[in-house]
Structure 1
Amino acid sequence: MTESYLTQYIAPLVLAFIMFGMGLSLTRNDFQQLWRAPLPIVVGLFGQMMLLPALAYALAIMFDLAPNLAIGIMILAACPGGTSSNIISQLARANLALSVSLTAISSLICVLTTPLIIQFAIMQFGQQEEQSFSLLTTTLGLIFITLIPVIIGIIIRHYFAEKALRCEPFFRHLASAFLLLMIVAIVIQERDTLTSSFAAVFSSALTLNLLAIMTGIGLGLLFKFTPRDSITLGIEVGVQNSAMAILIAITFLQRADYAVAPGVYGVTMYIGALLLVLLAKKYR
C-alpha cells in the first residue's frame, strides 16, 4: 500500500476534493462566529488542539501501545474535526453554527499544529531508525491537500452559492465512502497487526473517544455554556477527521501500520457519538 499509485496520488487527490467539498459548505458567517461569540470557539479549539492530543498521549502510555499504534493514535488526535462532526451535531440538534465554525477554523489551524504533534509523537514513540519525518514536507502537503482546497471551496460558495449548495452533498458522501474504502484497505493490508493487537487498539480508541466527548462536555459545563453548546463541544472534540489521519500515515509517512489506530477510531468514534445523540434527545 505504501508505495502504490493509490496512496501516492489518488488518495491525496480524493482528500483534496473532500476538503474542497467542506469549503463549499462554509460561508464568511462561519468565521464571523469567532468574533460574535469567541469563547465557545476558543474553548473548543483548546479541547481539540491541546487536550485531545494530551489524552491520546496518556492513553498510549497507559495501554502500553506498540510504537506504530501509539504514533497512529497521536496522528488521529492531531487532526481536526471533519464533516462527520457537523452531521452528528445536526442529528443531536446541537449548535450547528458552532460545530461548523469549529470544523472550519480547526481545519485551517491544523496545517501548523498537526505536523508539530506528529513530530512529537515520532520522537516519543518511534525507533531511532524511524526519525525521517519531515516537518516541512508534511506542512506543505497539508497546505496543498487541505488548506488550499478549503479556501477555493469557500470562494466558490461565496460567488456561486446555488451551485455550491447543489454540489456539496456529493462531496459529503464521497468523504464517507473514502473513509470506508481506506478502512477496508487497512484491514486487508494490516490484518496481522489487527489480529495481534485488536483488543489494545480497540480499547484505547474507544476510551479516547469517550474521554474526548466527556472532555468537550466538561469544558462546556466548566465555562457555563448552554447544554446545546456543551454537547457540540463534546462532538467536536470526540469526532475527528480519520480520513486525513489515514492519509497522513500512508502517504506522508509511508507507514500503513500507523493508519491502523486511526482506522479503528474511524469506526469506534460513532459509538460515543451515537450515545451522545441519544442522550441529547432524551434530555431535550
Structure 2
Amino acid sequence: MSRVVQFGKWLTRWFTVVVVVWAIINFFLPQTSMWAKSYTNYFLSIILFGMGMTLSIEDFKRIVKMPLMVIVGTLAHYIIMPLLAVALCKIFHLDGMIAVGVILVGCCPSGTSSNVMSFLSRGDVALDVSIGLLSTLCAPIMVPLLMSGLASQYVQIPVTKLFLTALEVVLIPVALGVAVHAIFGNRVQKVTVALPAVSQIAILVIIGVVVSVNNAKLFTVETAMVLPVVMLHNLCGYGLGYLFSRLMFKVYPKGFRYAQQKAITFEVGMQDSALGATLALQAFAANPVVAIPSTFFSVWHNISGSVLSSWWRRHDDDYAIAADSQHGEHSSAKTPESAQPAAVPSAS
C-alpha cells in the first residue's frame, strides 16, 4: 500500500504534465482509450464513491453549523459560472454543440481540486469542502435545470437523461461511500490512502476517451475558440468569486473573512470537469464534441489553480498577512484550525 501512496503523491505532483502527455498519446493513437467509451460513468462513480468514503457525519454537520456561508457560496457557484459560460458563448459567437459543452461545464458543481488549492493558499478548507459537498449533492437537480434554461437555444436538452445520469454517477456513489465510512469507521483509512491514485487514473481514462472519440475534431476551426474561452471562463470565475466574497465581507464580515474569501474564490472558479465530460459522453452520445470544453477545463484549471494558490501564499508571506486576518490586513495571529487540510480525493 505504501507504494500506491507514493505513486499517488507522484501522480498528484505531476498530474498536469501526465494529463498533457496522455492526451497527446490518445490524439495520435485514438484506440488507446476507445475501449472505455461506454464505461466513463463507472469511472466517475469510482471517483465519487471514493469522495463519499472520505466524508464523515462531521462534514455534513459543518454545513448545518455554517449554513449561510455554505449556501451563499454554493449559490454563487451555480449563478456565476453558468451565466459566465453563456456570456462567453455570446461574446465569442460560439454555437451548436460547442456552446452546449461550454455551458455544460459551467453548470457543473465545483471540483475537488479546489480543496487542494484552498489549502495551499491557506484558505478555509472546511468551508471549501462544505461548499463542494453541497454543490455536488445538488448537481442532479441543478445541472439539468440550468442546462434546460441556458442551453436549450442551441439544441434540445435531454433533461431526463442528464438527471438520471447525474443521479447515477453522483448521489448514489457518494451515498454508498458515506455508508461504508459510517459502517467501518476509521478502518476505511487503510483504503482511502490509495484514493488519490485511483481517482486520478479514473480521470485520465475519462480524458483519454474524450480525446480519442474527438480525435478528428479536437483541433479544427469549429473548436479553435474553445481553449481561450475555457481559460477566460475559469479566470473570470476566480475574479468574480473573489469580488463576490469581498462584497459579502461588507455584509457579514464575521463570516466572510480573508480565509473564506480564498475558499469561495476557488470554489466558484473550479469545476468538476470530469462530471462534465461524463455527462457529455452519456447524455450527448451522438455529439461527443460536447465533452471537449470539459477536457480542456480539466487541464487548465489545475494549472491556473496551482499558480493562483502559490501566488496567494507568497503574497501573504511577503506582506506578513496571517490566514485569520479580517480582509488581508497585516497580522501575526496563528493560522486557524479551520484552514487545516481535510481528507479529499484527488483533483478533477
Please, what TM-score do these two structures have when normalized by structure 1? Answer: 0.90
**1:272 & 1:234 partners in 2: Cα distance?**
12
Alpha-carbon displacement from aligned partner over 1:142-197 (angstroms, at most 9, x marks no partner): 21221011011112222322232232243332222222333233233323333224
**2:294 & 2:61 partners in 1: Cα distance?**
31
Task: Report deviation, 1:98.
Answer: 0.7
Task: Report deviation, 1:272.
Answer: 2.4
| Correspondence 1:234 to 2:265 | yes
* Cα-Cα RMSD: 1.9
Partner of 2:196: 172
| Correspondence 1:206 to 2:255 | no
Q: Percent identity?
A: 26
Partner of 1:264: 296
Which AA in structure 1 matches 2:220? S
Q: Structure 2 unaligned runs (5+)?
A: 1-29, 250-255, 317-348
Which AA in structure 1 matches 2:244? L
Higher alpha-carbon Rg:
2
**1:184 & 1:152 partners in 2: Cα distance?**
27
Deviates more, 1:111-120 or 1:47-56: 111-120
Partner of 1:84: 113
**1:213 & 1:165 partners in 2: Cα distance?**
33
**2:266 & 2:99 partners in 1: Cα distance?**
23
Task: Give the one of 285, 304, 312 matched to 1:280.
Answer: 312
| Correspondence 1:7 to 2:37 | yes
Partner of 2:242: 217
Q: Structure 1 unaligned runs (5+)?
A: none
The answer on whether the counterparts of 1:89 and 1:235 sit within 8 Å (CA) in structure 2 is yes
Task: Report deviation, 1:121.
Answer: 4.1
Alpha-carbon displacement from aligned partner over 1:240-270 (angstroms, at most 9, x marks no partner): 1111111111112212110011111111112
Task: Name the CA shift for 1:36/1:72 in 2 (closer, same or farther; >3 Å).
Answer: same
Alpha-carbon displacement from aligned partner over 1:62-121 (angstroms, at most 9, x marks no partner): 111132221101111111123222222222221111111111111111110111222234
**1:80 & 1:71 partners in 2: Cα distance?**
16
**1:27 & 1:164 partners in 2: Cα distance?**
11
Which AA in structure 1 matches 2:259? R
Which AA in structure 2 matches 1:277? S
Partner of 1:43: 72
Q: What does residue range 1-284 of structure 1 map to in structure 2 within 5 Å?
A: 6-8=36-38, 10-126=39-155, 131=156, 133-197=157-221, 198-224=223-249, 225-254=256-285, 255-284=287-316
The size of the alignment, in residue pairs, is 276
The answer on whether the counterparts of 1:231 and 1:276 sit within 8 Å (CA) in structure 2 is no
The answer on whether the counterparts of 1:18 and 1:172 sit within 8 Å (CA) in structure 2 is no
**2:79 & 2:167 partners in 1: Cα distance?**
21
**1:243 & 1:230 partners in 2: Cα distance?**
25
Deviates more, 1:108-117 or 1:89-98: 89-98
Where 2:217 maps in the other structure, the secondary structure is helix
**2:236 & 2:123 partners in 1: Cα distance?**
19
